[in-house]
Amino acid sequence: MKIKSRHHLKGSESKKILKMIEPFLEDPQALRGLSLEVAETDHDFNLVLLKGRPVFMMLEGRPFFTVRGALEFAPKKNMVIVDAGAVSYIVNGADVMAPGIVEADPEIVPGDPVVIVEERHHKPLAIGLALLSGTEMRGSGKAIKSVHHVGDTLWDMSG
């Protein structure tokens, strides 16, 4: 992944992005007063940087966590928990199939960004876009389109 350009956001722009992230957190105070940068990339999404680290990405025109951002801020909404059998596929970039899903936030609607976590320790593995609602995710078929996962180029650049 290449960064084409990056620039600091005005205070009002930073606040707007952080306001959109707040609903996913148990304690939005963690976001207060953060200064953000935006980085334009050669991928389908731009990055939002905090102290040079890509913690958010712009997906479908709205900010959401990167895997490292999910590790740092521990979101409590839009979570999808997968079983151990799905982990190796997901960390290799595979989309998430419904049979591997153990639990999903029932408020998820198709098109929503989601954090995919493993069942045992609830560690983030990937970020994706929901193809099904949270209540339908334990059925069959493809449930989530993977956008970013542990070990990909975005993960490597943020280490």
Residue 159 pLDDT = 53
In angstroms, rounded to a whole number, what is the distance separating the alpha carbons of residues 33 and 116? 28
Which residues, other chains included, contact 45 with Cβ-Cβ below 8 Å and sequence gap of 6+? 57, 58, 59, 147
pLDDT at 158: 59
pLDDT score for 149: 95
pLDDT for 28 equals 79
Residue with tokens 């490597």: 156
Domains of the chain with CATH codes: 3-73 (3.10.450.120), 79-157 (2.30.130.10)
d(CA 137, CA 75): 19
CA dist 99 and 20 (Å) reads 31
Angle ∠(103,78,109) on CA atoms, nearest 5? 90
| Whole-angstrom distance, CA of residue 59 vs CA of residue 44 | 8
Which pLDDT tens digits describe the chain residue by residue (159 residues)? 788 888 998 888 888 998 999 989 888 787 877 889 999 988 888 899 988 889 999 987 889 999 999 999 999 999 999 999 999 999 999 999 999 999 999 999 999 999 999 999 999 999 999 999 999 998 899 999 999 999 998 898 755
